[in-house]
């Protein structure tokens, strides 16, 4: 499924729940929590994380403790606020779409 | 076991990514480091699931995405944009000077060629298409001007007949722009390779438009000369000839070696 336009919210949500975590774990969590629905090209997640960092929603640091040097990402306070706002926006969007397509359409496609 | 397999798919992938990230600065270096860590970890996971090394690396790469799809998300640093704009600025400078010189210069050349062209027209009666050009009803009686003067003054000096009086100044303006460029490049940083357009880009940027304009203008010029010579034929022929000269010179410039700093 194409997550274009929603990747920021998904990454913020994963980081909010997982805490400080490196990119590989973010991608694994994204795949596992969506049960394979969001199978994005993994390489595109890193530029997205960098973009969130430039926006001040995420901070990162190199972690040397592991066998291989890895970048660890963490939400900032602004990132948490952004996650809450985007989540509310998404829920309103889903409610609106659901109201338009209606339960009949949902049943028809089920 | 997370070591790369030397010349394996991951190593080749990272080599290609390294090349494609050239000029992206710290953002590119960081992505490359993270891509390496990610791919090696993913390949190790694949091997832990029982895949052989090469298959595990290919699977990791397939999940990561093509180099093109990943690299296009990396923003170019501001200095890279500035570096690209420098030769664009100087290239535009040169191109503007050259276009003005071509347009005004073709007017000057047509003005000079107007004398023999008009005499040839009269001598051949418009290349044989208009008998007795200097007789009635072609030339109205005007005691102040002879037949030759009236025909010559009627010639268009640049294509479409516009810019009849200002073309010398257009030519001078173009020449001054080019001379200013020569002076500036000798005395300032604008003469360095960083400010010099790539020969291929600059050459093609001129060769293509002038190369296309030349045959079109020449065609109009020739079709305007026969069977009855039109007053705009010479200006089109001259402008087309000059465009062809510039186009050929620009095409030769394409093969020139770039300047070193």
B57 Cβ neighbours under 8 A, 6+ residues apart: B4, B5, B8, B9, B10, B39, B43, B46
Domain boundaries, chain B: 9-71, 105-166+193-254
Q: What element of type H or E holds A33?
A: helix A23-33
- Which of the pair, A41 or B175, is modelled with greater confidence? B175
Cβ-based contacts of A42 with chain B (< 8 Å):
38, 42, 63-65
Q: Strands A70-75, A21-22: parallel, antiparallel or unpaired by DSSP?
A: antiparallel
Band of residue B1 on the pLDDT scale cut at 50, 70, 90: very low
User: From the CA of A51, how many Å to the nearest CA of chain B?
Assistant: 9
Q: Kindly determine whether residue B34 and residue A47, on different chains, have CB atoms separated by under 8 Å.
A: no
Domain that holds residue A49: 7-99
Q: What is the mean pLDDT of residues B42-49?
A: 92
Q: Kindly determine whether residue A46 and residue B40, on different chains, have CB atoms separated by under 8 Å.
A: no
pLDDT of B231: 83
Q: Kindly determine whether residue B73 and residue A69, on different chains, have CB atoms separated by under 8 Å.
A: no
A87, part of any domain: yes
**Mean pLDDT score of chain B, rounded to an integer?**
84
B146 Cβ neighbours under 8 A, 6+ residues apart: none
Query: How far, in Å, are B103, B123, B250 from residue B118 at the CA level?
Result: 21, 8, 33
For this complex, say whether ipTM is above 0.85. Answer: no
Q: What is the mean pLDDT of residues A42-55?
A: 92
B96 Cβ neighbours under 8 A, 6+ residues apart: B174, B177
For CA atoms B59, B63, B66, B68, the dihedral sign is negative
Select from B236, B100, B109 the least CA-distant residue to B171: B100
Residue B139 has pLDDT above 80, yes or no: no
Cβ-based contacts of B74 with chain A (< 8 Å):
47, 50
- Which of the pair, A36 or A57, is modelled with greater confidence? A57
How many CB atoms lie under 10 A from the CB of residue B194?
A: 13
- SS3 per residue for A36-98: CCCCCCHHHHHHHHHHHHHCCCEEEEEECCCCCCEEEEEECHHHHHHHHHHHHHHHHHHHHHH
Rounded Cα–Cα distance for residues B74 and A50 (Å):
9
Task: Answer for the pair B192, B87: CB distance below 8 angstroms, yes or no.
Answer: no
pLDDT of B98: 94
A2, part of any domain: no
B38 vs A: CB within 8 A: yes
Q: Kindly determine whether residue A43 and residue B69, on different chains, have CB atoms separated by under 8 Å.
A: yes
Band of residue B79 on the pLDDT scale cut at 50, 70, 90: low
* Chain B: residue whose CA lies nearest to A25: B38
* Share of residues in chain A with pLDDT > 70 (%): 87
CB nearest A68 (choices: B37, B69, B74): B37
Cβ-based contacts of A48 with chain B (< 8 Å):
73
Task: Answer for the pair B43, B57: CB distance below 8 angstroms, yes or no.
Answer: yes
Q: Kindly determine whether residue B73 and residue A47, on different chains, have CB atoms separated by under 8 Å.
A: yes
Residue B94 has pLDDT above 50, yes or no: yes
Cβ-based contacts of A46 with chain B (< 8 Å):
31, 34-35, 38, 70
Q: Kindly determine whether residue B33 and residue A48, on different chains, have CB atoms separated by under 8 Å.
A: no
Band of residue B26 on the pLDDT scale cut at 50, 70, 90: confident
Q: Is the pTM of this model over 0.80?
A: no
CB nearest A23 (choices: B34, B70, B73): B34
Highest mean pLDDT among A34-48, B3-17, B121-135: A34-48
Query: How far, in Å, are A23, A60, A70, A73, B37 from residue A63 at the CA level?
Result: 12, 9, 5, 10, 12
Could you report how far apart the first and last alpha carbons of chain B are, in Å?
A: 46
Q: Kindly determine whether residue B70 and residue A24, on different chains, have CB atoms separated by under 8 Å.
A: no
Q: What is the pLDDT of residues A60-72, one digit of tens each?
A: 998 876 677 789 9
How many domains are there within chain A?
Answer: 1
Select from A87, A92, A110, A71 the least CA-distant residue to A6: A87
| A-B C-beta contacts closer than 8 Å | 58
How many CB atoms lie under 10 A from the CB of residue B239?
A: 28
Residue B64 has pLDDT above 90, yes or no: yes
**For chain B, where are the alpha helices, taking DSSP H only?**
9-20, 25-48, 53-64, 67-71, 78-123, 147-154, 167-187, 199-225, 233-254
Q: What is the pLDDT of residues B174-190, one digit of tens each?
A: 999 999 999 988 888 78
Residue A49: CATH number of its domain: 1.10.10.10
Band of residue B261 on the pLDDT scale cut at 50, 70, 90: very low
Task: Answer for the pair B211, B247: CB distance below 8 angstroms, yes or no.
Answer: yes
Q: What is the mean pLDDT of residues B145-168?
A: 77
Band of residue B2 on the pLDDT scale cut at 50, 70, 90: very low
Q: What is the mean pLDDT of residues B65-79?
A: 81
pLDDT of B217: 93
Task: Answer for the pair A42, A25: CB distance below 8 angstroms, yes or no.
Answer: no
pLDDT of B60: 94
Select from A49, A64, A50 the least CA-distant residue to A18: A49
């Amino acid at each position: 499924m194409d997550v274009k336009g929603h990747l920021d919210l998904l990454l913020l949500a994963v980081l909010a729940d997982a805490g400080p975590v490196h990119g590989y774990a973010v991608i694994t969590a994204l795949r596992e929590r969506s049960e394979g629905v969001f199978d994005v090209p993994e390489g595109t997640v890193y530029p997205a994380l960098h973009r969130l960092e430039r926006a001040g929603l995420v901070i990162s640091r190199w972690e040397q403790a592991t066998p291989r040097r890895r970048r660890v990402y963490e939400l900032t306070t602004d990132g948490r606020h952004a996650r809450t706002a985007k989540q509310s926006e998404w829920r309103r969007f889903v409610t609106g779409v659901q109201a338009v397509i209606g339960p009949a359409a949902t049943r028809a496609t089920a | 076991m997370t070591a790369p397999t030397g010349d394996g798919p991951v190593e080749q992938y990272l080599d290609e990514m390294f090349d494609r990230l050239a000029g992206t600065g710290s953002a590119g270096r960081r992505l490359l480091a993270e891509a390496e860590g990610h791919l090696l970890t993913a390949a190790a996971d694949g091997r832990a699931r029982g895949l052989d090394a090469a298959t595990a690396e290919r699977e990791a790469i397939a999940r990561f995405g093509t180099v093109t799809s990943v690299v296009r998300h990396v923003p170019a640093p501001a200095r890279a944009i500035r570096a690209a704009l420098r030769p664009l600025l100087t290239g535009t400078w040169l191109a503007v000077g050259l276009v003005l010189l071509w347009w005004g210069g073709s007017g000057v050349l047509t003005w000079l060629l107007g004398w023999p062209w008009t005499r040839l027209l009269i001598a051949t009666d418009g290349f044989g298409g208009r008998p007795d050009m200097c007789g009635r009803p072609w030339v109205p009686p005007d005691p102040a001007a002879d037949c030759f003067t009236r025909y010559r003054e009627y010639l268009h000096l640049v294509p479409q007949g516009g810019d009849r009086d200002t073309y010398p100044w257009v030519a001078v303006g173009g020449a001054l722009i080019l001379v200013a460029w020569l002076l500036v490049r000798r005395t300032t940083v604008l003469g360095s390779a960083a400010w010099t357009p790539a020969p291929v880009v600059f050459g093609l940027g001129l060769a293509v438009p002038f190369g296309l304009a030349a045959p079109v203008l020449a065609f109009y010029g020739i079709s305007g000369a026969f069977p009855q010579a039109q007053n705009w034929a010479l200006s089109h022929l001259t402008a087309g000839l000059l465009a062809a000269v510039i186009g050929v010179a620009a095409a030769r410039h394409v093969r020139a070696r770039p300047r070193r700093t």
